[in-house]
Structure 1
Amino acid sequence: MQHFIWNVNPNILELGPLQLRWYGLLFVGSFFLGLLLLQWVYKRENRNPEVLDNLLLYIMAGAVIGARLMHCFAYEPEFYLSHPVEILKVWKGGLASHGGLLGVLVALYLFAKKYKENYMWLLSRVAMPGALTAAFVRFGNLFNSEILGLPTDKPWAIVFERVDMIPRHPVQLYEAFSYLTLLLILVMVYRKVSPAFATKILPGIFLTFMFILRFLLEYTKTRQADYTTSLPFTTGQMLSIPFILIGIIWIIWAFKSHRKEIA
């Protein structure tokens, strides 16, 4: 069976030692698209959008630092502990969504404290552009020919020629389109429910949907961590389980709290 051959250069432009990569362009671009989404949210709820430029910087810093550190020390600790300078080379790829989320949580807390914003309100609204960024990161992984799927004979399999000639699950696309679906769900819920209920429910939907998907799609991925454990789950699955549990508990709490308020 003839499969689609993927052999795209991960570099858009090369000027000597300087490289402009698709991964970096998609990653940064997702934040600016997310900024437009947040501007719509702020205007819709009669809030001052002037703080958003600073919020963007906080979120980008938190996401990059958290995601990079989680990737380095959860997935490839031996390599990065032996080559610490490589930790700084974010443009080469290697960001873990679990760490990115934790980094953003910390960044939002620091931002809310400095600018006297409501942390829960901010957290719930940032969930929407967060899903967008997660999708764009996976598109970036596709351009890097990384985070490969397991071999398969499915007609939609892709051969990543820069790696090998084996047809594989395009797991990067599975995740990217799943996260775009999550974005649509979050926006629809946000528009349909009251602002107060949106503040409570959106983070729970984000956590539950995203990390259940992440857990399930790990079954179509090659092993990411450079070590093995005796547990039946991958590193990505083990990191996802706490977020799934928190998300489910969060949704239950949101509905119970909402019912008490309208009773």
Structure 2
Amino acid sequence: MTFPVWILFVSIPCCLCSNSWNKRLLINDQTALHETIQKLQTELQQLKSEVTQLKQQRAPVATPLSSYTRWGRHSCPAGSTLIYRGFAGGHSYNETGSGVNFLCLPDDPLWGIHKDGYNSYSGWILGAEYEGGYFFESGIRDSDVPCAVCLTPHSTSIVIPARNACYDGWHLEYTGYLMSNAHRHPGESEYICVDAHPDVIPNSSSNTNGAVLYMVESICQSLPCPPYVAGRELTCAVCSK
């Protein structure tokens, strides 16, 4: 005897499963995307920081520089660079006008608009001679004075009078003697530090005067003695730091 078999098919709406699954996938994708963006942003910041550090490491550091005049020499000391060399110049020892400072005149002058010929109402500048440099080598008297303008890799340079050495922490550029016009002369001048081992301008030994240089002595009038000594010639040092 045969019995009929009934098979019941239950239909579940697939759209419900599909929507739920799609939502789950969408949430997971958004979370992963957000995490990826955060990771990339972090890496970008790290790269920017590394680039900045590299630029700072490679950026040239500006070297502090200063200049000074080396009176009495054609060249600069070791460690300094020559800017130019020339001739020491100033105003006449027996005149009261013109400037009072010594200048290092370059040996390659350039000219602008000019009218040759002396003018009684112009400033004058003459070459400078050694006069009272009796501590220097023989044969230097009446010779003209060379000079050099030097560039040092230090940020500051100073002249220290009455010392032939620098203070602690300072670099000695050169040492010498303090010189100026003689105190009996009507012309004024500044004090300059002339190198202790001076050069001369070749073929300049004739006594033409002009601007002149004498040793400077300490005088015990308002100047404390000691530590200074009456009539003693003063040294000097050019120092940089």
TM-score w.r.t. structure 1 length?
0.22
**Bigger relative contact order, structure 1 or 2, given CA contacts below 8 A and separation 6+?**
2
Q: Whose helix proportion is higher, 1 or 2? A: 1
Q: Whose strand proportion is higher, 1 or 2? A: 2
TM-score w.r.t. structure 2 length?
0.24
Structure with bigger gyration radius: 2
